[in-house]
Chains A and B, each alone.
Chain A
Amino acid sequence: DVKVTQSSRYLVKRTGEKVFLECVQDMDHENMFWYRQDPGLGLRLIYFSYDVKMKEKGDIPEGYSVSREKKERFSLILESASTNQTSMYLCASSETGDTNYGYTFGSGTRLTVV
């Protein structure tokens, strides 16, 4: 069964901490994405990557950075966590092009910043 695995389901961090959210996919997909999901706002794209070592800003990149050193791994970094970054974070991967298979999402990481 193909998978996108996010390292933590729940995470509690303190304001100002540097936070790493890890995502690994086993489908050899080129594309990987990080979204955050908040009530009433839906899924919003933070960053995405089409290939190793490349990254593109999404709609809300401020306060975040990403790293993709290997094809299967895409990390989201909160440089200095703030309470307004408390959210559900979802990682996804997909094949290149508008295939009929859509995105495969991980189960999400619920991050609380206190």
Chain B
Amino acid sequence: SQKIEQNSEALNIQEGKTATLTCNYTNYSPAYLQWYRQDPGRGPVFLLLIRENEKEKRKERLKVTFDTTLKQSLFHITASQPADSATYLCGRGQGGKLIFGQGTELSVKP
């Protein structure tokens, strides 16, 4: 089956630094990957979608890459702020549905 994996260890960084989160997938490349933010006790909120034929996509302080050779997507938050602290989820598009990784918790310290 197609899997998607994120680093389950929490990521702790200092305010102002760039946070980089990793999403790895197995087998064939998905048509697209999506990234979401989830705050405690809330549903995930959509951030960015990147397609297989796109190398990079940006939105304000966010940047996502898609490397089909490494079978990996990287999610960057530049100039991170404490308000960026949350769990970030990666999902792969598969047959019209989205299969998620387990998420990575990000903590940005002032």
Q: Within B50-105, which residues are at the interface with A (CB < 8 Å)?
A: 51, 89, 91, 93, 96-103
Judge whether B29 is part of the interface by a CB distance below 8 angstroms. Answer: no
* Interface SS majority for chain B: strand
How close is B12's CB to chain A, nearest CB, in angstroms? 19
Which chain B residue has the least Cβ–Cβ distance from A9? B41
How close is B91's CB to chain A, nearest CB, in angstroms? 8
B43 and A108: CB pair below 8 A? yes
Say whether, besides A98-B31, A98-B32, A102-B36, A45 and B45 are in contact (CB < 8 Å): no
How close is B73's CB to chain A, nearest CB, in angstroms? 14
Which chain A residue has the least Cβ–Cβ distance from B34? A102
The count of residues in chain B whose C-beta lies closer than 8 Å to any C-beta of chain A is 25
A103 and B96: CB pair below 8 A? no
Chain B residues near A50: list those with CB within 8 A.
96
| Interfacial residues, chain B to chain A (CB-CB below 8 A) | 8, 31-32, 34, 36, 41-47, 49, 51, 89, 91, 93, 96-103
CB-defined A-B contacts under 8 Å, sample of 24: A35-B100, A40-B8, A40-B102, A42-B102, A43-B89, A43-B91, A43-B103, A45-B98, A48-B96, A48-B97, A50-B96, A59-B99, A90-B43, A98-B31, A98-B32, A98-B93, A99-B49, A102-B47, A102-B49, A103-B34, A104-B46, A105-B44, A108-B42, A108-B43
